Structure 1
Amino acid sequence: MKFRDFINKLDSEKKIMHITKEVSTNKEAAAYLKKYDGTPLIFENVKTERGKGMRIAGNLLSSVELIEEGMQIGKGQFIGKMIEALDKPASFEKVSNADFDYFEPDLSLIPILFHYPLDQGPYITSAVVFANRNGIRNMSYHRLTPIGKDRLVGRLVEKRDLHTLYEDAKAHGEDLDVAITIGNSLGVLLAGATSIEHGKYELGIASALENGLQVVDAKTNSAEYPVDSEIVLEGKILHDETAKEGPFVDLTATYDVVREQPVFVIDKIAMKKEPIYQALLPAGNEHKLLMGLPRTPTIYKAVKEAGIDVAGVYLTPGGSGWLDAVISIRKKSDDEPKKAIEAAIKGHRSLKRITIVDDDVDITNPDEVGYAVTMYWRAGKEYVFDNVKGSSLDPMATPDGMGSKLAIDATKPLDVPKEKLLKMKKANMDIML
């Protein structure tokens, strides 16, 4: 669903809270997003350094239910819908014109939020960056902070696709064409967080989720972007200029380290009529869901392809929606949980902890998962991996993401009599009342 259409839908259902008092972009708006995390907000009266700024929307996708509504699917259908889009990406239409007003580069036109006291400065956190390098295209999320009227420094995770394209351009002494989009359709937001084979284009996934998309060429370079984006910053990643980036509160609510990162220069700004800026609170529910939820189908597929009858995958809030997975399976042999663990790591290498449970466990309920671990674990059913590739978001890992992983088989052992493991179900108790 398009960004503006989704806002209008939520508004008609009275699911959006309108903040009408004057709110500053300097930490005040972020405080509201934190206080009302889980509730969509529209800031109607935004105070910026230039004066009154454009409206800001935030927390739009801060619950699974909101994401399901935006995708127009029922409860529990997310993984199936995403796998369908991953397996059958759709074509998209290139149009010659789009309904944008164009401005000379001036980042003060945009109400970029300063989120936390020790952040480097204001950060764009909801942007999906579209890049083109000799016909190889990529779209992905990247945080960006202004370092000048027309310059940003952004975090490019090493060996991810945009970083690979940047390194190739740099090796040839060339800049990389990009378009930074803010205020995107739900399909673009979800597809931008997927991880697919290098050289394949995530926009096909977005188009499948949206039942078709239209894109337009940038005015100033070879990038392209969806015509329904609210704000677009056309520009380049410079091959010969870097700057310090960070500190920044990342997904795990810890400050990421300061790094030397590439500089983006903006050549043109495109905006809709009366645009709405999309805010995304770092370490908030929306951040965790948009970053982590698209990884559940890749884990599901990897486990299924290992020959395991997988029932469900859940990335827990306690693991910031990224580091900790609970996976339920329909176990046929006692060696399957280990196979599922190995497959899950292949499906999402950032995982730090993995728990395998039976399919009668509600993987979203920490009490049920805790019960399974306590009752069905025994020595030898845990697996520890040390000095392996994980996530730079893990505060115990090295800056390049080398760390440890813990996996637990919490499924019922098949060599223990079933009568010993029989658990009275709540439904059976209800019948007795």
Structure 2
Amino acid sequence: MRQLPPFPDLRSFLHWLDQRGDLLTVKDPADLRHEMTALQLAALRAAGPALRFDHAHSGGTRADLPVIANLFGTRERVAAGLGMTLDDLPKLGEFLAALRSPAPVDGMRDALSRWPLLRAALTARPQIRRSAPVQQAQDIADLTQIPVQTPWPRDAGPLITWPVVITRPYGTQADQITRYNLGVYRAQVLGPDRLIMRWLAHRGGAAHARTWAQARDPMPVAIALGADPATLLSAALPLPETVSELGFSGVLRGARTELVAAKSVPLMVPAQAEIILEGWIHPDDSAPEGPFGDHTGYYNAVENFPVMRISAITHRRDPMYLTTVTGRPPDEPSVIGEVFNDLALPVIRAQIPEIRDLWLPPAGCSYRIAVVQIDKRYPGQARRVMMALWGMLPQFSYTKLVIVVDTDIDPRNWDDIAWALSTRMDPSRDLMVLDRTPMDYLDFASPLEGLAGKLGVDATNKIGAETTRDWGEVMTLDPAHEARAAEFVAQHISKARQ
């Protein structure tokens, strides 16, 4: 499945990007407060390279660490982080679908035909090290020495935006790695040894935290900053609950995940990361977080979240700090989301076979709008697909608008979608409205916190009992004439423009 060489750490991936002219070292000063955000977003929207800031500063004080940004600022770099080209992504999508619903093996020949899946499963076992690059030094005395951005003008303070947060549930041991959860949750820096962990209630880290709080015991937490690409993307992927993110990163990397025991908390941490923050979350210890700019393009409201108290900071001898910016798309998370959209398609098809394609427009904040292409065969099928999609995966329970189109409509082309809406949809017949359904509480447009309506739009051709009128016939030309026209344009018109 993997086509590229393994990237055991962040710096090997950056070296690979640099060799291809896809890494730019910025030697001019860049202010961590707001200015770096503008530079990151401008470079990303120009499909520019990953960035290394060697002269980051705050208030005129130069940071000791270089800052890496826009690591996954293009679809090609996201695919490379997964170990493959864009053309190879469907294979990974099929593998993810097989993880969720593995087909039964029919004899030895069938088992051998699935050897890539079996080999991937074998490499998923992490390797435990006694010493590690990420524990070479402990020269960073506190959080204020890490060049953390304050992205937006109204942000409450410095915000760690690419942390891989490592937790385990109460009652487990440090060596029970399959019980670990890896998640990417933003973390507000409160001071030298305190930060706020913003994890939403439905996320794995929050679920683990509830088990520790119920036992009234402090919870050990570790944060990997600057992890290798496979670990970063595994932590962000919507993997099945039965699949370990640490184990799956080995599948993506093409090499076993290397872990080492943390210094001050009972957890195993990525051995090849740049920096590890270790600490504890105590029951009832929380603080108001925010406001901060979010992926919607708006500032979040201030809310209480758990406080992590730092007990140790370990790092490489010459560490780098990895950052990103979240805002109105396009941003780096929305680029990653586009790739994850394609990876999820085989999983979706396995559950809803009539779906041919599905697009989550980046401007729709990753998941709030979905355009679904189906192979329509019977009346009411579009509505059945809407309801199936809303109930299939947790993230689709937050999709507020679903538009269903036929196979002759490109679901990733707004002109095609607008034409289907204009010619195949009647508002009095083809809208399905639901009320008081689950919604991301960050969506302030919803009338109630955590509850909102949903709209399904059937923009398919109407068949059978769906209509009493003669349905229109789409105008098409003879394929042979269209082929000749394309040849004519290539020979005469395109050449004339050159």
Query: TM (normalized to structure 1)?
Result: 0.91
Note the alpha carbon deviations across 1:261-286, whole angstroms, 9 max, x for none.
10011111122232221111112521
The 8 Å contact of residues 75 and 338 in structure 2, kept in 1 or not, is answered as no
Q: Which deviates the most, 292-301 or 212-221?
A: 292-301
Equivalent residue for 1:336?
381
Q: 1:361 to 1:16 in 2, by over 3 A?
A: farther
Higher Cα Rg, which structure: 2
1:62-101 equivalences under 5 Å are 62-75=73-86, 77-78=88-89, 80-85=91-96, 87=99, 90-100=124-134, 101=136
Distance 1:34 1:118, change over 3 A: same
Identify the residue that residue 392 of structure 1 maps to in structure 2. Answer: 441
Distance 1:427 1:203, change over 3 A: farther
User: Cα deviation per residue 1:70-116 (whole Å; 9 max; x = unaligned)?
Assistant: 33434354354144146166332222221123326500121000100
Task: Specify which of 454, 473, 495 is matched with residue 420 of structure 1.
Answer: 473
Q: 1 CA distance for matches of 2:482 and 2:280?
A: 59
TM-score, scaled relative to structure 2: 0.80
Structure 1 counterpart of 2:413, from 359, 362, 365 = 365
- Residue 486 of structure 2 corresponds to 430
Q: Of the candidates 387, 399, 414, which is equivalent to residue 351 of structure 1? A: 399
RMSD over aligned CA atoms reads 2.6
Q: Which residue of 2 aligns with 1:175?
A: 218
Provide, for residues 26-61 of structure 1, a one-character-per-residue CA deviation record: whole Å limited to 9, x for no partner.
Answer: 212112112222422211211146533311111121
Range moving further from structure 2, 142-151 or 361-370: 361-370
Distance 1:76 1:373 in 2: 31
Once residues 187 and 98 of structure 1 are traced to their aligned partners in structure 2, the CA distance between those partners, rounded to angstroms, is: 18
Distance 1:293 1:350 in 2: 19
Aligned partners of 1:129 and 1:179 also within 8 Å = yes
Alpha-carbon spacing, 1:400–1:201, altered in 2? closer, same or farther (3 Å): farther
Q: Quote the residue 1:159 is aligned against.
A: 202
Q: State the alpha-carbon separation in 1 of the partners of residues 340 and 222 from structure 2.
A: 22
Matched, 1:52 2:63: yes
Give distance in 2, aligned partners of 1:309 and 1:389: 25
User: Residue 29 of structure 1: which of 25, 33, 36 is its match?
Assistant: 36
CA change 1:399–1:189 in 2 (3 A) is farther
Partner secondary structure for residue 236 of structure 2: coil
Q: Which amino acid aligns with 1:153?
A: I
Q: 1:273 aligns with which of 317, 320, 335?
A: 317
SS at match of 2:397: coil
Q: Distance in 2 between matches of 1:11 and 1:377?
A: 50
Deviations 1:403-422 (A, max 9, x none): 12222222333458787124
Question: 1:61 maps to what in 2?
Answer: 72
Q: 1:287 aligns with which of 307, 317, 333?
A: 333
Identify the range of structure 1 (278-287 vs 199-208) with the bigger mean alpha-carbon deviation. 199-208
Moved more, 373-382 or 260-269: 373-382
In structure 2, how many angstroms separate the alpha carbons of the residues matched to 1:288 and 1:14? 23
Contact 2:441 2:450 in 1 (8 A): yes
Q: Secondary structure at the match of 1:256?
A: coil
Give identity over the alignment, percent: 23
SS at 2:263's partner residue? coil
> Is the 1:326–1:354 Cα contact (8 Å) retained in structure 2?
yes
Tell me whether 357-366 or 340-349 shows the greater mean CA deviation. Answer: 357-366
Change (3 A) 1:12 1:198: closer
SS at match of 1:11: helix
SS at structure 1 position matched to 2:16: helix
Conserved 8 A contact 1:137-1:199:
no
CA–CA distance in 1 between the matches of 2:36 and 2:434?
41
Change (3 A) 1:64 1:216: same
Alignment-mate amino acid for residue 313 of structure 2: I
Q: Report the number of matched residues.
A: 432
Per the alignment, do residues 217 and 167 of structure 1 end up closer, same or farther by CA in structure 2, a change over 3 Å counting?
same
Q: 1:143-169 CA deviation, whole Å, 9 max, x = no partner? A: 101112111012120132211111110
1:326 has 2:361 as partner: no
- The alpha carbon displacement at 1:176 in A equals 1.4
Cα distance change on mapping 1:244 and 1:294 into 2, 3 Å: same
Query: Secondary structure of 1:374's match?
Result: helix
For structure 1, the residue ranges without an aligned partner over 5 or more in a row are: none
